[in-house]
Amino acid sequence: MLFIIILAALIIALLLFLNFNPQFGGKITQTHQAHYAQSKQWDGKKFVNETLTEMDMSFSSIIGLMKEQFRDSHLRKPKQPIPVIPFDNSTWKSEPEKPKFVWYGHSVVLLQLDGKNILIDPMLGPDTSPIAPFKTKRFSENTLAIIDQLPQLDAILLTHDHYDHLDLASIKKLKSKVSTWFVALGVARHLEAWGVSSDQITEFDWWDHIEFEGISMTFTPSRHFSGRGLTDRAKSLWGGWVFKTSKNSIYWTGDSGESDVFKTVGDKLGPFDWAFVECGQYNERWHAIHMFPEEAVQAALDSKSNIMMPVHWAGFPLSLHTWKDPIERSTAAAKRLGQKTTTPQIGEVVVMSNEPNEPWWKSLD
């Protein structure tokens, strides 16, 4: 009898956690599903990729993965926190006619185009596993405080709803700094659950386009997935962004496995001055949704991008590779294939035509 009572209490606690923990975001309603069903990517139950996308998550694979987690774990994160350069407001305000960006590790980028400030995937929190029993700590410290340093924002863009791209703690701090949110289809329900007004949010399906303050923005396909809980896998869309002004063109691939979509985007909307391309958190088991570094370089080439900025690394240990492996492999492949790159330090202001290319990570253990 005692066992049954304990088991019932545990089940009730789990249900309460799943239903009321704000980290999971907004619940899907019938109204949401009717809206999603208008998308060509919706198969009646979920969003799907254009290419069949499967991951090796068999029982034996999971057991092997658990064993590997304990092998060379000290190499998957730096021995000391990676420093973040304080925001340089004077450089940021100078030469407003030139595009600029600041990378804050992983996939967080502050982008300036035509004097407008755009923040992409602002996961600045300290942990990508807020619902897990063990933390996945960020490589840099006190990153939520970066939000207080940022200039006034004109828009925030979200590629998808995974915890390493959409962070509750960050959204809470950012709500008062911006009134325009451009997000992947299905992501609005999370923001609304966290207090962002629905009339501030615009959702995008693949190839949807908007003109914003003189900037043309297009939401582009990628090969990935989404979900924050046990029941919402692929219940919101994922993708990348293209930004075009009268003078410049920039591509943000979003998280993606190897795909023909990069060539398609390049043919339709390229060439590009900069391409922000994910190059980290890969593994053979989930190769379909995250490129290897060499494939990331090929994505930049396929999309007709002049300079590649490797992202999705130097933030969190979300895979089994060493923390330096993504940048070392991607820069080596870029040199071999003739693709230009830029490798700024975290927090460094980058101005177009003056892109840094120093291997700063080599001085860190």
Model confidence pLDDT, tens digit, residues 238-253: 999 999 999 999 999 9
Residue with tokens 């596993």: 129
Confidence check: pLDDT of 217 > 50: yes
6-10, 172-176, 227-231: least confidently modelled range: 6-10
What's the rounded Cα separation, in Å, for the pair 105 and 123? 9
How far, in Å, CA of 181 to CA of 281, rounded?
27
Residues 244 and 137: their CA atoms lie apart, in Å, by 35
Helices 261-269 & 293-302 angle (0-180, nearest 10): 30
pLDDT at 19 (0 to 100): 57
pLDDT exceeding 90 applies to what percent of the chain?
87
* pLDDT number for residue 54: 85
What is residue 288's predicted lDDT score, i.e. its pLDDT? 97
Span 331-344, mean pLDDT?
A: 98
Neighbours of 8 (CB within 10 A): 10
User: Is-cis flag, bond preceding 271, omega within 30?
Assistant: yes
Say what the pLDDT of residue 74 is: 75
Average pLDDT over all residues of the chain: 92
pLDDT band at 14 (very low <50, low <70, confident <90, very high): very low
H or E element in which residue 275 lies: strand 272-278
Nearest to 47 by CA among 209, 161, 166: 161
| Residue 75, Cβ density class (10 Å: 0-12 exposed, 13-18 middle, ≥19 buried) | middle
For residue 11, the model assigns a pLDDT of 44
> CATH second-level architecture of 84-352?
4-Layer Sandwich (3.60)
Residues 281-284: contacts with CB under 8 Å, at least 24 apart: 281/164, 281/312, 281/313, 281/316, 281/318, 281/319, 281/326, 282/319, 282/321, 282/326, 283/319, 283/320, 283/321, 284/56
Beta carbons of 333 and 320 less than 8 angstroms apart:
no
Q: What is the tens place of the pLDDT at every residue in 33-65?
A: 999 999 999 999 999 999 989 876 554 555 555
Summarised one tens digit per residue, pLDDT across range 59-100 is 455 555 555 665 667 789 999 999 999 999 999 999 999 999
Q: Residue 271: beta bridge partners?
A: none
pLDDT band for position 223 (cuts 50, 70, 90): very high
Please tell me whether the overall predicted TM-score, pTM, comes out greater than 0.75 for this model: yes
The secondary structure of residue 295, as a DSSP letter, is H
Q: In what order do the strands lie in the sheet with 340-341?
A: 209-212, 215-220, 240-244, 249-252, 272-278, 305-311, 340-341
